[in-house]
């Protein structure tokens, strides 16, 4: 059976990820930046910014001069790479051979798969529609070779399906950059007047090799199908699941506990051999009447301690209704993480409280829910709402230290909320302010503390923060946005002190 490949190009992968997280950015011009040689350089631009001619590689300061209203955010290539890998694994439902095509594409070997969707056209439409509904701006193409599919997805008409054996004709009018060549080779081709791939096919191979080396011939051959090219497909994540059928239906809590303990012992032994641990798990009981009973747990760190995991499940066993009896038990670790031997030794040391803290948090979460427990780490940003991040792991290390030289509220609002104030003189703290309809009189105050954004992020006036206390002893963190010498400033409430 001849090979068929589908190339998918995510035109704005990094910024589409941001829009999925923050829907309010959907129609706004924004960019992602990263430092490079002492300057802040654009790494990715949104769809709206793309229409303004802003492209990766430009300096952020130049972009601000062109479009002062642009919003800027730091680039996070690690998260974007993980997203691309997750997307590749998601495509296992469409083909057993999906591969990552960095930095912003996927390549699928769809040989023998498309008939399940009624043909290549229906297959392609199904994928593109699903991705666009998910918020991704994509272009896609199908061809006999990896090189041809890649080229047409990026330089051809969106949704093109090249008929088998017709890739040379489809590539003829495309530019040489569609061959995935290095910049230096493309520059030499440009100087010599090569504007289309079809021009190269009329040049003897020996002449091309002498001027441009073997790379050009290899890429051209891979696109046309005369040179082999292999995919490095993603592997489906291993299934951490154990089954235990019952000789007779189990109806008692004690019987359920015994089944759970046996499954945990088996699964934790596998974890130990593979250097992994459970973060989330589900215990299911299949009843004789066809219904399924299940309970789930989560941990603050990957654990392979069968005793600890059993205690977490044990809290929820009363939720299981065996009815006429359970004939099959299944334990599945739905989230598994690596557990290094060094980390395990540190957490298990007799003079360390880390393991006890983690297990205590797991026990609390089992009673009040995982969503009730949060851990925050500091980030190197000036504005308070951008200076922290929430993490799910107890072992993740902070990038910087917490600021302790100035008071900070215990409860920081995710977004500052506007308030109405009465101020005696400019640069003075408020005499009173109104928040959610309540008039709050200020008894004590301290400030101002000026906090500005980083210069490459500056989008507006600075903030002047005040620490105020009302007549009942409650303390608030307020700030004034702007100064009285430049229009009418606005006031906001940003946090509450303990």
N- to C-terminal Cα separation, the chain: 70
Q: Are residues 178 and 255 in the same domain?
A: no
Q: CATH no. for residue 283?
A: 3.30.1490.100
Residues 209/221, Cβ–Cβ less than 8 Å: no
- The pLDDT of residue 358: 66
What b/e readout covers 359-382, taking b as 16+ CB neighbours within 10 angstroms? Answer: bebbeebbeeebeeeeeeeeeebe
Distance separating alpha carbons of residues 37 and 456, to the nearest angstrom = 14
Check whether residue 334 and residue 351 sit in a common domain.
yes
Instruction: Say yes or no: 82 and 98 in one domain.
Output: yes
Using a 10 angstrom Cβ sphere, with 0-12 exposed, 13-18 middle and 19 or more buried, the burial of residue 184 is exposed
Same domain, 213 and 253: no
- CATH code where residue 110 lies: 3.30.70.270
Same domain? 323 vs 389: no
Q: Same domain, yes or no, for 109 and 247?
A: no
pLDDT at 347: 46
Range of the domain at 379: 374-405
Say if residues 429 and 377 touch (Cβ distance below 8 Å).
Answer: no
Q: Are 163 and 268 found together in one domain?
A: no
Residues with Cβ within 8 Å of residue 392, at least 6 apart in sequence: 300, 375
Q: What is the DSSP string of 354-400?
A: HHHHHHHHHHHHHHH-GGG--EEEE-S-SSGGGSEEEES-SSPPPSS
Which of 190, 207, 237 is where one domain is finished? 237
From the list 181, 176, 101, the residue with the least C-alpha distance to 141 is 101
Kindly state whether residues 25 and 96 are assigned to the same domain.
Answer: yes
Task: Starting at the earlier edge strand, list the strands of the sheet with 30-36.
Answer: 39-45, 30-36, 71-74
- pLDDT value of position 344: 54
Q: What is the pLDDT of residue 398?
A: 81
User: Rg of the chain's alpha carbons, rounded to an integer?
Assistant: 30
Biggest alpha carbon–alpha carbon distance for the chain:
89
CA distance 15 to 20: 9
Residue 66, helix vs strand vs coil:
helix
Where among 237, 258, 277 does a domain terminate? 237
Q: What is the pLDDT of residue 216?
A: 94
332 and 458, same domain (yes or no): no
Who's near 255: CB < 8 A, 6+ residues apart?
246
Which has the closest alpha carbon to 70: 33, 17, 36? Answer: 33
Same domain for 75 and 162: yes
CA angle 70, 71, 73 (to 5 degrees): 140
Half-sphere exposure of 386 (CA within 13 A, CB side): 12
pLDDT confidence of residue 452: 86
Task: Map residue 235 onto helix, strand or coil.
Answer: coil
- pLDDT confidence of residue 40: 93
4 token code pair: 């068929």
253 and 224 housed in the same domain: no
Q: Which residues of the chain have pLDDT under 50?
A: 346-347, 349-352
pLDDT recorded at residue 370? 64
CA distance 85 to 108: 13
Tell me, yes or no, whether 416 and 387 share the same domain. Answer: no
Domain boundary among 337, 367, 397: 367
d(CA 84, CA 104): 7
User: Strands across the sheet with 326-338, in order?
Assistant: 241-250, 326-338, 276-287, 292-303
Cβ-defined contacts of 88-96 (< 8 Å, 24+) = 88/234, 89/234, 89/236, 89/237, 91/127, 92/234, 92/236, 94/123, 94/127, 95/6, 96/233
Contact 452, 462 (CB under 8 A): yes
Our count of domains for the chain comes to 4
Vertex 107 angle, CA 144 and 227, to 5°: 45
- pTM reported for the whole predicted model: 0.62
């Amino acid at each position: 059976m001849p090979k068929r490949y589908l190339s998918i190009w995510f035109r704005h992968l990094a910024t589409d990820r941001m829009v999925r997280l923050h829907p309010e950015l959907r129609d706004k011009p924004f960019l992602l930046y990263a430092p490079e040689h002492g300057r802040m350089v654009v790494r990715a631009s949104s769809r709206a910014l793309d229409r303004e001619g802003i492209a990766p590689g430009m300096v952020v300061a130049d972009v601000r001069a062109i479009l002062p209203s642009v919003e800027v955010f730091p680039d996070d290539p690690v998260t974007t790479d993980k997203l691309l890998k997750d997307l590749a694994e998601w495509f296992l439902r469409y083909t057993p051979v999906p591969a990552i095509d960095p930095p912003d594409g996927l390549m699928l070997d769809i040989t023998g798969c498309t008939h399940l969707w009624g043909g290549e056209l229906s297959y392609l439409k199904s994928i593109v529609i699903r991705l666009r509904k998910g918020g991704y701006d994509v272009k896609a193409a199908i061809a006999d070779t990896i090189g041809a599919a890649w080229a047409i997805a990026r330089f051809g008409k969106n949704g093109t399906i090249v008929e088998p054996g017709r890739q040379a004709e489809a590539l003829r009018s495309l530019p040489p950059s569609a061959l995935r060549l290095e910049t230096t080779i493309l520059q030499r081709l440009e100087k010599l007047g090569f504007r289309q791939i079809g021009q190269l096919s009329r040049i003897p191979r020996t002449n091309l090799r002498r001027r441009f080396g073997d790379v050009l011939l290899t890429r051209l051959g891979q696109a046309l199908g005369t040179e082999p090219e292999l995919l490095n497909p993603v592997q489906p994540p291993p299934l951490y699941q154990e089954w235990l059928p019952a000789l007779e239906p189990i109806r008692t809590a004690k019987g359920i506990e015994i089944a759970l303990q046996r499954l945990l012992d088996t699964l934790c032994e596998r974890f130990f051999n593979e250097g992994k641990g459970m973060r989330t798990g589900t215990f299911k009981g299949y009843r004789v009447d066809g219904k399924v009973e299940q309970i789930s747990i989560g941990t603050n760190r990957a654990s392979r301690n069968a005793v600890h995991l059993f205690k977490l499940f044990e809290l929820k066993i009363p939720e299981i209704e065996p009815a006429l009896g359970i004939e099959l038990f299944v334990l599945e670790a739905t989230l598994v993480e690596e557990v290094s031997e060094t980390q395990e030794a540190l957490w298990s040391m007799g003079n360390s409280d880390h393991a006890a803290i983690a297990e205590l948090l797991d026990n609390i979460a089992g009673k009040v829910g995982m969503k009730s427990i949060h851990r925050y780490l500091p980030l190197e940003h000036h504005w308070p709402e951008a200076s922290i991040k929430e993490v799910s792991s107890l072992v993740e290390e902070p990038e910087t230290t917490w600021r302790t030289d100035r008071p900070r509220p215990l409860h920081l609002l995710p977004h500052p909320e506007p308030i109405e104030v009465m101020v005696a003189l400019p640069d003075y703290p408020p005499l009173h302010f109104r928040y959610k309809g309540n008039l709050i009189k200020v008894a004590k105050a301290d400030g101002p503390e000026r906090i500005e954004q980083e210069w490459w992020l500056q989008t507006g006036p600075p903030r002047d923060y005040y620490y105020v206390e009302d007549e009942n002893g409650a303390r608030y963190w307020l700030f004034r946005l702007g100064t009285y010498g430049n229009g009418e400033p606005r006031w906001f409430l940003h946090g509450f002190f303990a």
